[in-house]
């Protein structure tokens, strides 16, 4: 079997570098959205209103109980159709479409937001109750205590786990090939089907993922060690 590495590098290589741009774009925004969603969910779960709590649990279970890929399809194909149907009730034609990249960011935001909210929630519960009492005793309100003395250490303790989720998200961007985002897998698939350089193409693809995710994992391990230094 003859392998054409140099051709693969020179043709697929530049395309993959562009693809990395897409991956970084989706991951950065997807991760930011998921951070916001996870924080909102976790704070909502500390609420004393039982109904809100139940609804949020239900939502998180719904998302965690279905595959990410299905959610991408749902957001990309189903949501626009539902919106259309809804607005048709009022006689408005929307012709709404969601860009694949945007669907990806929304999907990551919601899916990872749900998983990460559980991380933050358990970190919140792990904060020494003495911190809350000290804040209250000084005259802070429950809300001030939550935002000043409970969430900051909880987030800080969640950072190493967030690191793992970030690496997972980068790898999960390959799922976006299924909704036609021009990320790494779709580019490789196209190249392979045109050139039949299947072995070279997919090997290169795997290497590119490794080159991105291994250093990031290392960074999160180092970060974890550094953060361990102070506080609980």
Partner 1 sequence: MAMMQIKNLSKSFDDLQVLRDINLEIEKGQVVVIIGPSGSGKSTMLRCLNLLETPSGGEILYQGNDITKLGKLVTDYRKHVGMVFQRFNLFQLHTVLENVMMAPIQLNKMGKTAAKEKAMELLGKVGMKEKADVYPDTLSGGQQQRVAIARALAMDPEMLLFDEPTSALDPELVGDVLEVMKRLAADGMTMIVVTHEMGFARDVADRVIFMDEGYVVEDEPPEVIFTNPKNERTKEFLSRVLNE
Toward partner 1, which CB reaches closer, 61 or 128?
128
- Residue 181 structure tokens: 């985002």
Toward partner 1, which CB reaches closer, 131 or 217?
131
How near is the Cβ of 32 to partner 1 at its closest, in Å? 23
Total residues contacting partner 1 by CB under 8 A comes to: 21
How near is the Cβ of 232 to partner 1 at its closest, in Å? 6
How near is the Cβ of 139 to partner 1 at its closest, in Å? 4
How near is the Cβ of 176 to partner 1 at its closest, in Å? 37
The verdict on 231 binding partner 1 (CB under 8 A) reads yes
Toward partner 1, which CB reaches closer, 93 or 230?
230
Toward partner 1, which CB reaches closer, 21 or 152?
152
Task: Please spell the DSSP secondary structure of 105-163, one letter per residue.
Answer: HHHHHHHHHHHHHHHHHHHHHHS-HHHHHHHHHHT--HHHHIIIIIHHHHHHHHHHHHH
How near is the Cβ of 113 to partner 1 at its closest, in Å? 24
How near is the Cβ of 67 to partner 1 at its closest, in Å? 38
Residues numbered 143-202 forming contacts with partner 1, rule: CB under 8 A: 144, 148-149, 152-153, 156
The verdict on 225 binding partner 1 (CB under 8 A) reads no
Residues numbered 94-153 forming contacts with partner 1, rule: CB under 8 A: 128, 130-131, 133-141, 144, 148-149, 152-153
How near is the Cβ of 157 to partner 1 at its closest, in Å? 11
Radius of gyration of the chain (CA): 22
CA–CA gap between residue 125 and residue 24 (Å, rounded) = 33
Toward partner 1, which CB reaches closer, 156 or 189?
156
Task: Please spell the DSSP secondary structure of the chain, one letter per residue.
Answer: ----HHHHHHHHHHHHHHHHHHHHHHHHHHHHHHHHHHHHHHHHHT-S-HHHHHHHHHHHHHHHTS-HHHHHHIIIIIHHHHHHHHHHTTT--------HHHHHHHHHHHHHHHHHHHHHHHHHHHS-HHHHHHHHHHT--HHHHIIIIIHHHHHHHHHHHHHHHHHHHHHHGGGGGGGT--SHHHHHHHHHHHH--HHHHHHHHHHHHHHHHHHHHHHHHHHHHHHHTS--
Toward partner 1, which CB reaches closer, 123 or 170?
123
Toward partner 1, which CB reaches closer, 76 or 162?
162
Residues at the interface with partner 1 (CB under 8 A): 128, 130-131, 133-141, 144, 148-149, 152-153, 156, 230-232
């Amino acid at each position: 079997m003859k392998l054409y590495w140099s051709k693969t590098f020179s043709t697929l290589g530049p395309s993959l570098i562009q693809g990395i741009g897409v991956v970084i774009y989706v991951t950065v925004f997807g991760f930011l959205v998921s951070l916001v969603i996870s924080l909102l969910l976790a704070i909502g779960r500390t609420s004393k209103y039982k109904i809100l709590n139940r609804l949020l649990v239900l939502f998180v279970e719904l998302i965690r109980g279905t595959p990410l890929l299905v959610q991408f399809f749902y957001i990309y194909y189903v949501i626009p159709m539902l919106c259309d149907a809804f607005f048709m009730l009022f006689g408005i034609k929307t012709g709404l479409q969601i860009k694949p990249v945007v669907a990806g960011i929304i999907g990551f935001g919601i899916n990872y937001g749900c998983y990460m909210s559980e991380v933050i929630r358990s970190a919140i519960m792990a904060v020494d109750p003495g911190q809350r009492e000290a804040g209250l005793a000084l005259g802070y309100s429950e809300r001030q205590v939550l935002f000043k003395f409970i969430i900051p250490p909880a987030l800080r303790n969640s950072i190493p786990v967030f690191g793992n989720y970030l690496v997972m998200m980068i790898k999960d961007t390959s799922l976006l090939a299924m909704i036609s985002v021009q990320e790494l897998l779709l580019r490789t698939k196209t190249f392979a089907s045109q050139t039949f350089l299947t072995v070279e193409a997919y090997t290169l693809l795997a290497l590119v993922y490794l080159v991105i995710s291994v250093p990031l994992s290392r960074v999160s391990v180092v970060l974890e060690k550094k953060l361990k230094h102070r506080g609980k």
